[in-house]
Amino acid sequence: MTNPRPAATLIIAAKTAASVSREDFSVLLVKRTKHSGFMAGAHVFPGGVVDPTDSPAIWATELSLDKELADLDFRVCAIRETFEETGVLLVNDGDKVGAASINDKDSWRSKVREDPSVFLEMCRTLELNPAVEDIHPWAHWITPEQEPKRYDARFYLVVIDGQVQAEHDRSETVSSTWLSPTQSLESFGQQSLFLPPPTWIVLRDLQELALSQRLLSTERDLSPVQPHMIHQDGQIHLLFPGDSGHPQTQETETEQQVRIVIGGAGLYRFIDTRLQRGDMK
């Protein structure tokens, strides 16, 4: 078993004036290259591995924060990686959070991608304040122990006034697109894009909330979710805490299932017998 690497992901929810689905916002998804060593070809939220230069010891002295953030390194990572992968740098100009306008953006992105420490240099040079206090913890996922590459990933969410131009980096990502949660899930169901299980679950949660004003007012359970993977009846089952078969679940008299079942076509079925429901998406 390998130890999971700390990582951070950013869900950018952009308010939309009109939508073809019931949500009044869309989210930014990037498609990972097919040559990627993890989730190749998948559509995901931008993000990546925490770098030592994301350290609070470095950034706490650079930013005027209203309060101490124990997860500052994850927040810096989420914003830095989003800039690397999409060209969108979220900053706070003292009034609201939005995407910064940057001269020589492509040059800076290339430098930051080669050396993450350049992100601090760029912010200093251009007098930019990464919006670390404006992104909100949303979820915490840990890759199953059975996987060869594992990540301890924090998901953050930010709401902005409208879609901004995103440009995939043509290295780690090969496309970027704004889709509503419903559009994303329907495309997955039609097998026109692939969503990893954590991304699929997050999009389901966003779809259920539907309205952008509810995204930041909903209390989130930030307990780490580490699925346990088993093979059963020719299918892959990802068991969550609460499932009777999960190692972290204490024994109960009633057998419960809380899991994702991955079918032969690659589609997911979520089962939670505690709620007496299961569905296929």
DSSP state letters, 192-220: SS---HHHHHHHHHHHHH-SHHHHTTS--
CA 64 to chain centroid, in Å, comes to 26
The last residue of one of the domains, among 161, 182, 215, is 215
Residues 204 and 247 in one domain: no
Residues 154 and 246 in one domain: no
Based on the structure, what is the number of domains in the chain? Answer: 2
pLDDT at 245 over 90: yes
Residues 117 and 235 in one domain: no
Residues 194 and 263 in one domain: no
- Pick the more confident residue, 29 or 275: 29
Q: What is the CA radius of gyration of the chain?
A: 19
Buried b / exposed e across 166-183, counting CB within 10 Å, b at 16+? Answer: bebbeebbbebbbbbbbb
pLDDT at 281 over 60: no
pLDDT at 234 over 50: yes
Give the mean pLDDT of 37-44.
81
Domain assignment present for residue 160? The answer is yes
Residues 54 and 173 in one domain: yes
Domain assignment present for residue 221? The answer is no
Residues 151 and 234 in one domain: no
Q: What is the pLDDT of residues 87-119, one digit of tens each?
A: 999 998 777 899 999 999 999 999 999 999 999
Query: 103-108 long-range CB contacts below 8 Å, 24 or more apart?
Result: none
Residues 177 and 89 in one domain: yes
pLDDT band at 280 (very low <50, low <70, confident <90, very high): very low
- The reported pLDDT for the residue numbered 264 is 81
pLDDT band at 182 (very low <50, low <70, confident <90, very high): very high
Residues 73 and 120 in one domain: yes
| Percent of the chain surpassing pLDDT 90 | 73
- The reported pLDDT for the residue numbered 11 is 98
Q: What is the pTM of this model?
A: 0.93
Residues 162 and 58 in one domain: yes
pLDDT at 231 over 90: yes
- CATH assignment at residue 116: 3.90.79.10
Domain assignment present for residue 220? The answer is no
Average pLDDT, the chain: 91
Q: In whole angstroms, what is the distance from residue 189 CA to residue 34 CA? A: 20
| Owning domain of residue 242 | 228-280
Residues 34 and 110 in one domain: yes
